[in-house]
Amino acid sequence: MGGVSETGAGWTFLTSHARVLAAIAEDQRIRIRDIAAWCRLTERAVQKIISDLEKDGYLTRAREGRTNAYRIQPGTILRHPAEAGMTVEALLSALARHDDQRDGRPPRSRTVRSRERDSGSAG
């Protein structure tokens, strides 16, 4: 998802909330500064979005030393009625498949759950 220039002004298909969640899915210990750069948002906007996602149960945050560790709740259902029944995990998997195809990588077999399990056993 990174490296794509946004030449048009106005609306986009993915919300900033989806972009922030996707950035966290890639690295559960990512810094707010790096999320902001990746999503082309201000750090303050990222902080607000993370607060929204945390408040509504899409992720949790725990302090680990000087950094935050985020844990995405993969079974959480998306909010809009048009996506009734679609989970965060399904959305992030679709985005990951798109990134893999765009970047010429083989499809990922890992899911949000396996990444969280891997990161939980490493620390």
Architecture of domain 16-118: Orthogonal Bundle (1.10)
CA dist 45 → 40, 52, 90, 106 (Å): 10, 11, 25, 33
The domain limits of the chain are 16-118
Return contacts of 5-11, CB within 8 angstroms, 24+ apart.
6/40
Q: Which of 31-35, 89-93, 114-118 is predicted most confidently?
A: 31-35
Q: What is the pLDDT of residues 36-65, one digit of tens each?
A: 999 999 999 999 999 999 999 999 999 999
Instruction: Look over the chain and give the mean of its residue pLDDT values, rounded to a whole number.
Output: 83
> Residue 116 pLDDT > 50, yes or no?
no
